[in-house]
A = this chain, B = another copy of it.
Amino acid sequence: MSQPLINKFVVVGIGLIGGSLATGLTQRGACAEVIGIARKPETCDEAVARGVVARAYTSLRDVASELGKGDVIFISVPTLSVTAVLQEIKDFISPDVTITDGASVKGSVQRAAEQVFGVIPPQLVLGHPIAGSEKSGVTAANPNLYENHRVILTPFSNTSAQDLALVSAMWQAVGAEVLTMSVEEHDEVLGATSHLPHVIAYSLVDTLAQDIHNPNIFRYAAGGFRDFTRIASSDPVMWHDIMRANKVAILQSMDLFIDNLSRLRSSIEHEDSDYLLKVFSRAKEARDEFTVMLAQRQVSTKKE
């Protein structure tokens, strides 16, 4: 047997994202051991009992002395809790350990790292797997979550090439395709294609749930509504953090959307058939192209 890609894989925050990567790496023999870190002792116990991690502790400090080159720390706590984890890393962890994360917003992690370290250390590779689910918590961990999904890494000019290569190989090991881009581009693109849809879905469901004229309105909704609102079942604390962390890009996207929707509202009011047909046709065309592209991407990933 060849040596595994990673020696010790330490997952800080054992929820859907971290638990899925931990079990994915274990099942594929890509790490020698998985260690979990969670704030609550119950989460530690449950993660061990479910076999998601081999052992677990409530602080990174408890494992600091045994970590070195070839080990990876993966930070997968809610976005606004990253600073506290980075502080522990600064205080206790060797510069030989590769550090990466899975937060949905990269600008806020960059700012947190600058605040804690002054200059972001070369060992820290920021990343974001474009995969998820409306489910959350360690019970939702799924070793195949990242198969055929994309992971965006946002390296800085001083990021260590070796650490970047190890993090890329780690994601490829669980079936993901790795891309790189700047922190700014990442946050703009995700603000538009992920954060904006979540705000819209939450707002729509809340609008209907608050409509006192139609207390039983959901009784008459069907499968299309279920698909459309699936993301409104996502974890509220996680999404609150994302709204705070990516505020500027999300507000920009919301303004573009509210402007487009208001023009559509006006065209319905004034029965402007040409405008309505133009927008609906253009949207259908773009969305149909997107699904073709997504299907091709999945086929080509499976072939490799």
Given the complex, which residues of B lie within 8 Å of A290, measured CB to CB?
218, 221, 225-226, 229
Q: A58-66, A84-92, A257-265: which lies at the B interface?
A: A257-265
Contact call A224/B250, Cβ cutoff below 8 A: no
Given the complex, which residues of B lie within 8 Å of A287, measured CB to CB?
205, 229, 232-233
Q: A39-47, A156-164, A275-283: which lies at the B interface?
A: A275-283
A217 CA / B201 CA spacing, docked (Å): 20
Given the complex, which residues of B lie within 8 Å of A49, measured CB to CB?
none
**Mask of A160-187 contacts with B, CB within 8 angstroms, 1/0:** 0000000000000000000100000000
Is A299 among interface residues, defined by CB-CB distance under 8 A? no
**Mask of A219-248 contacts with B, CB within 8 angstroms, 1/0:** 111111111111111111101100110010
Contact call A261/B254, Cβ cutoff below 8 A: yes
Q: A8-16, A26-34, A110-118, A189-197: which lies at the B interface?
A: A189-197
Q: Given A189-B217, A194-B224, A217-B192, is A281 in contact with B209 using a C-beta cutoff of 8 Å? A: no
Question: A186 to chain B: closest CB distance in Å?
Answer: 8
Q: Given A236-B280, A244-B271, A256-B211, is A286 in contact with B206 using a C-beta cutoff of 8 Å? A: yes
Contact call B257/A243, Cβ cutoff below 8 A: no
Is A54 among interface residues, defined by CB-CB distance under 8 A? no
A182 CA / B100 CA spacing, docked (Å): 58
The residues in A between 258 and 303 inclusive whose CB is less than 8 angstroms from any CB of B are 258, 260-262, 264-265, 268-269, 271, 273, 276-277, 279-284, 286-291, 293-294
Contact call A283/B206, Cβ cutoff below 8 A: yes
Is A150 among interface residues, defined by CB-CB distance under 8 A? yes
Contact call B217/A224, Cβ cutoff below 8 A: no
Most interface-central of A269, A276, A281, A289 (chain B CB within 10 A) = A276
Q: Which of B190, B202, B277 is in CB contact (< 8 Å) with A220?
A: B190
Is A214 among interface residues, defined by CB-CB distance under 8 A? yes
Question: A271 to chain B: closest CB distance in Å?
Answer: 6
Q: Given A260-B206, A277-B236, is A230 in contact with B226 using a C-beta cutoff of 8 Å? A: no
Contact call B214/A130, Cβ cutoff below 8 A: no
Most interface-central of A223, A255, A287 (chain B CB within 10 A) = A287
Chain A residues at the B interface, C-beta cutoff of 8 Å: 130-132, 149-150, 152, 179, 188-190, 192-194, 196-197, 199-211, 213-214, 217-237, 239-240, 243-244, 247, 250-251, 253-258, 260-262, 264-265, 268-269, 271, 273, 276-277, 279-284, 286-291, 293-294
